[in-house]
């Protein structure tokens, strides 16, 4: 099925970006997705926050908003899949059009605004996931919530035991005011409350589920110090670096470059990697990091790992290169690790950063 993508690509490219995405999800739900037969090299196997993964290459949140196709995307060859962002109540998101291809820049701009079917639907889908694969749940807050932190607590309480880890998404630029939760006092309050929710579940006899926070790339040096301090003080399991950017590099050439929303894809790579390295240094390498932003090759994945990421995630590049990209990234990453003398992914983490 992977080899059919070149035939489908012209059709998908002729459709609006969101229509093409919805059609892709429909096809995957219908069982038309590819299934990789590639066997991961043992050097790609890694273990983070108590989870053993066959490889460090994951699917970023945003592709599978409603946990409809986590099984199908694991079949593509991802080491783990992150579903969401899900909010307690269903919401339509922002007005269309809200997804734009910047083909010349190998980039995407979106302003979805957490469109999703809500916790009830998401919960039902996660209950049907196949055993064995690692699936995370990315939780968010409804736009009209009076206490957004409580929405994150609600999501974690409702989904507890159904996902292998949680990501608290406070860095989307498409929900007004959401990024303010990254300030030190707000973030400390949020982390304290979501960890208390986890402790309540553990006190009731349930297992410990890792909780991560996804942050923006558009942070000041002071912001990074504050986030690192909160993460360390609360023994947070990890940080995902980073979400999309509201900045617009001068190198952009697409006609859509001025659209409002979060920019992802190739132009995000340097900014997100620089932020990753800063967070790695600020936390002294003591917090597990997932690197996201601009990954479209094994070399890109290795660059994230060398700058502090234990795992990596991608999404935008799939729109341009198709599902076979996952196997290509893993093959090239394996070659690079061996060429540089690293026996495993974990051995290479942070190798380009001086602490």
36 is in an annotated binding site: no
Question: Does the annotation count 310 as an active-site position?
Answer: no
Cβ-Cβ contacts under 8 Å for 303 (sequence gap 6 or more): 273, 352
Gap between the Cα atoms of 120 and 115, Å rounded: 14
63 is in an annotated binding site: yes
Angle between helix 269-282 and 298-306 (nearest 10):
30
Lookup: tokens for 69 = 């196709």
Residue 114 assigned as binding residue = yes
Closest C-alpha among 229, 233, 230, 268 to residue 248:
268
The DSSP bridge partners found for residue 139 are 86, 168
Distance separating the N- and C-terminal Cα atoms of the chain? 45
Any known ligand binding at 61? yes
Number of helices and strands in the chain (H, E): 12, 13
Q: 62: annotated binding-site residue? A: yes
Determine whether the annotation assigns residue 188 to a binding site. no
Confirm whether residue 242 is marked as ligand binding.
Answer: yes
* DSSP-assigned states of every residue in 209-226: --EEEEE-S---HHHHHH
CA–CA distance, 289 with 276 (Å, rounded to integer): 8
DSSP 110-152: E---S-B-HHHHHHHHHTTPPTTSEEEEEE---TT-SSHHHHH
Q: Known binder of ligand: residue 302?
A: no
**164 annotated to a ligand binding site:** no
Is 243 known to sit in a ligand binding site? yes
The answer to whether 167 is a known ligand-binding residue is no
111 assigned binding-site residue: yes
294 is in an annotated binding site: yes
**Is 112 flagged in the annotation as binding?**
yes
Whether 300 contacts 321, CB under 8 Å: no
> Residue 285, annotated ligand binder?
no
Instruction: Confirm or deny that 316 is annotated as ligand binding.
Output: yes
CA-only gyration radius of the chain, Å: 19
Beta-carbon count within 10 A of 17 CB: 19
- Annotated catalytic residue: which of 70, 172, 272, 324? 172
For residue 80, give Cα distances in angstroms to 112, 114, 229: 23, 21, 28
Q: Which residues are catalytic?
A: 172
Residues annotated in the binding site for substrate, as ranges? 65, 110-114, 169, 174, 243-244
Residues annotated in the binding site for FMN, as ranges? 61-65, 85, 138, 169, 214, 242, 265, 294, 315-316
Residues annotated in the binding site, as ranges? 61-65, 85, 110-114, 138, 169, 174, 214, 242-244, 265, 294, 315-316
């Amino acid at each position: 099925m992977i080899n059919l993508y070149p035939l489908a690509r012209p059709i998908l490219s002729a459709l609006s970006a969101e229509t093409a995405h919805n059609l892709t999800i429909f096809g995957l739900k219908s069982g038309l997705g590819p299934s990789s037969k590639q066997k991961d090299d043992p050097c790609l196997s890694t273990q983070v926050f108590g989870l053993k993964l066959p490889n460090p290459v994951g699917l970023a949140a945003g592709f599978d908003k409603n946990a409809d196709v986590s099984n199908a995307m694991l079949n593509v060859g991802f080491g783990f899949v992150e579903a969401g962002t899900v909010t307690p109540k269903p919401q339509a998101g922002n007005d269309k059009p809200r997804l734009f291809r910047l083909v010349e820049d190998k980039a995407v701009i979106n302003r979805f605004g957490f469109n999703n079917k809500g916790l009830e639907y998401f919960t039902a889908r996660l209950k049907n996931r196949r055993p064995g694969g690692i699936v995370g749940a990315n939780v968010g807050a409804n736009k009209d919530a009076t206490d957004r932190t409580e929405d994150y607590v609600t999501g974690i309480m409702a989904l507890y035991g159904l996902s292998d880890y949680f990501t608290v998404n406070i860095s989307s630029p498409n929900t007004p005011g959401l990024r303010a939760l990254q300030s030190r006092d707000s973030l400390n309050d949020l982390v304290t409350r979501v960890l208390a929710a986890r402790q309540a579940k553990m006190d009731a006899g349930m297992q410990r589920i890792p909780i991560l926070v996804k942050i923006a790339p558009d942070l000041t040096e002071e912001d990074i110090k504050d986030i690192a301090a909160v993460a360390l003080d609360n023994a947070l399991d990890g940080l995902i670096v980073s979400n999309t950017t509201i900045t617009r590099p001068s190198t952009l050439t697409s006609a859509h470059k001025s659209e409002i929303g979060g920019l992802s894809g190739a132009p995000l790579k340097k900014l997100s990697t620089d932020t990753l390295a800063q967070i790695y240094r600020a936390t002294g390498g003591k917090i597990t990091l997932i690197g996201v932003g601009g990954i479209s090759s094994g070399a890109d994945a290795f660059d994230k790992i060398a700058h502090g990421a234990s795992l990596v995630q991608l999404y935008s590049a799939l729109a341009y290169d198709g599902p076979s990209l996952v196997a290509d990234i893993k093959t090239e990453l394996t070659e690079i690790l061996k060429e540089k003398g690293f026996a495993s992914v974990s051995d290479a983490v942070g190798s380009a950063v001086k602490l």
